A = this chain, B = another copy of it.
Amino acid sequence: MIPDAECLKVIHEILTALQVGDFLIKINDRRILQGIFTICGIPEIKFERICSTLDKLDKISWEEVKNEMILEDGISPECVNCISEYVQLHGGPGLIEKLLKDPKLVQNRLAMEGLEDMKLLFEYLTLFGIIDQVSLHLSLARGLAYYTGVIYEAILLCQKHSHLNESLSLRSVAGGGRYDELVAKFDSKGHKVPCVGLSIGVERLFSIIEQNNEKIRTTETQVLVATPQKNFLTFKMKLISELWNAGIKAEMLYKKNPRLLEQLQYCEETGIPLAIIVGEQELNDGIVKLRDVVTRKEVNIPQENFIEEIKRRLEKYNT
């Protein structure tokens, strides 16, 4: 359970660092689910199908899922009611203790294995200090057939996203689990390799962060070398080379003679914090014009000091 706990810690770290607000990581175990299905009298051949139907719970209501199980998956209403009793449960270590004593579940070896491991996992998550954002949800199924043990899914809870439509704000932003039999299916000798893995919903998280009006930069450029002059390439390339050699991330527009406004707009759009502006006048005076893109303030700096001055400012921006 240590690698499983580490995966959950990784998800927790990422979602915390992204500052997307409160989140909850729902956990379950395929073995517990299979145990529940077995004691509710569902034939093994239907397990995968029922998992897929259960997985729709984040899109449709429990009533609709129940109907689909009865009408489409061909499960009897009694069996569905039996499943219903279990899958609506969620909680922490207390729930695990209760389930470990459940008179029906104790008869299922697989479910007991899953619950014992879940107990251990919650101990590790306590040591990692992330127990408050984690909860056992017996309804969590995950769509993919290859999971064999612990499964998890992270959802955002925060009020911060109340302006988003609910389906987006509640949908999963990370997920994963254990899949101990997947490698053997592809290995010519059928060697079993235990695996854990997780995925982060990068696109979804980006769109949430963007909807909070935070701009995400797609480049790391720190300085744009710009000019109002035509045919000023040579001097721009000399300056850019000096910036690169000093370890500063610099670029210029490839376009032959872009207008100065276009070059400054490019900085504002892409979040480049500093621009160096050079023209005939600056070249003759031995200076460069340094522009703070956000405040639009410009200062003249002697050419021999410009690298130092830029470094000093970048330290301040911490970019």
A-to-B contact residues, CB < 8 Å = 2-3, 5, 9, 13, 123-124, 127-129, 233-234, 237-238, 241, 244-245, 254
Contact = CB atoms under 8 A, between A and B. Distances in A.
A238 B9 contact: no
Given A9-B244, A13-B244, A127 B3 contact: no
Contacts of A254: 2-3
B13 A128 contact: no
Contacts of A3: 254
Contacts of A5: 237
A137 B5 CA distance: 57
Contacts of A124: 237
A249 to B, nearest CB: 12
Contacts of A244: 9, 13
Contacts of A128: 237, 241
- How many copies of this chain are found per oligomer? 2
B237 A127 contact: yes
Contacts of A238: 127
Given A13-B244, A129-B241, 5 more contacts: A2-B233, A2-B254, A9-B244, A128-B237, A129-B245
Q: Is the interface of A mostly helix, strand, loop or mixed?
A: helix
Contacts of A2: 233, 237, 254
A234 B254 CA distance: 57
Contacts of A233: 2
A25 B254 CA distance: 24
Contact of A127 (B13, B123, B127, B234): B234
Given A254-B2, A254-B3, A241 B13 contact: no
A245 B129 CA distance: 10
B241 A9 contact: yes
Nearest to A252: B2
Contacts of A13: 244
A9 B241 CA distance: 9
